[in-house]
Chain A
Amino acid sequence: MRLEHVGRRHGLRGPWVLREVSLTLPAAALVRVVGTNGSGKSTLLRLLAGVDAPTEGRVGGRPARTAYVPERFPAALPFTAVDYLVHLGRVQGLGRAAARARAGEWLERFGAGEHAGTELAALSKGTSQKVAVAQALLADPALLVLDEAWTGLDTGARAELDTAVRERLAEGATVVFVDHDPRRLEGEALVVHGVGEGRVRELTPPVAAAGHARVAAGPAGLARAAAAGLVPTAPALPAAGPEPTAPRVSATPAGPAPPVRITVSGGRSLPSLLPGNPTTAPGPDGTTLLTVDAAHSDALLGALLAASWHVHHLGTEGVRV
Chain B
Amino acid sequence: MTALLRYQSGLLLRSQRWLAPLLLYAAFIGVGVQAGEPVLGALGFASAALLPVSAWSVRICLTQEPPAARSVVAAAAGRGRAHLAALLTGAAWPVLVGTVAVLAVTAIADRRGVTALAAATAGLLAALACALTGAAVGALTARPFLRAPGWSLAALVLGSLLALVTTGSPAKHAMTALVTGARTATADPPWLACGGALLLAAAASALACRATARLE
Contact = CB atoms under 8 A, between A and B. Distances in A.
Interface stretch (B10-18, B24-32, B108-116, B164-172): B10-18
A55 to B, nearest CB: 7
Nearest to A135: B72
A74 B66 contact: yes
Interface residues of A, number: 35
Given A52-B216, A55-B214, A87 B7 contact: yes
A68 B14 contact: no
Given A87-B3, A90-B6, A91-B4, A74 B14 contact: no
A74 B69 CA distance: 8
B76 interface: yes
Interface residues of B, number: 25
A66 B76 contact: yes
B75 A91 contact: no
Contacts of A69: 72
A51 B11 contact: no
Contacts of A52: 79, 213-214, 216
Nearest to A68: B75
Contacts of A76: 66
Contact of A70 (B7, B71, B79, B215): B71
Interface string B68-110: 1101111111110000000000000000000000000000000
A50 B74 contact: yes
B10 A87 contact: yes
A163 B9 CA distance: 35
B65 interface: yes
Query: Which of B15, B71, B79: most chain A CB closer than 10 A?
Result: B71
Contact of A77 (B66, B74, B77, B216): B66
Given A67-B76, A87-B10, A75 B215 contact: no
Given A74-B68, A76-B66, A77-B11, A90 B3 contact: yes
A78 B15 contact: yes
Q: Which 3 A-B pairs have the closest CB atoms?
A: A68-B75, A53-B213, A90-B3
24 contacts: A50-B78, A51-B213, A52-B79, A52-B213, A52-B216, A53-B214, A55-B214, A66-B75, A66-B76, A67-B72, A68-B71, A68-B72, A68-B74, A70-B72, A73-B68, A73-B69, A76-B66, A79-B14, A88-B72, A88-B76, A90-B3, A91-B4, A93-B3, A139-B76
Interface of A: 11-12, 46, 49-53, 55, 66-79, 83, 87-88, 90-93, 132, 135-136, 139, 145
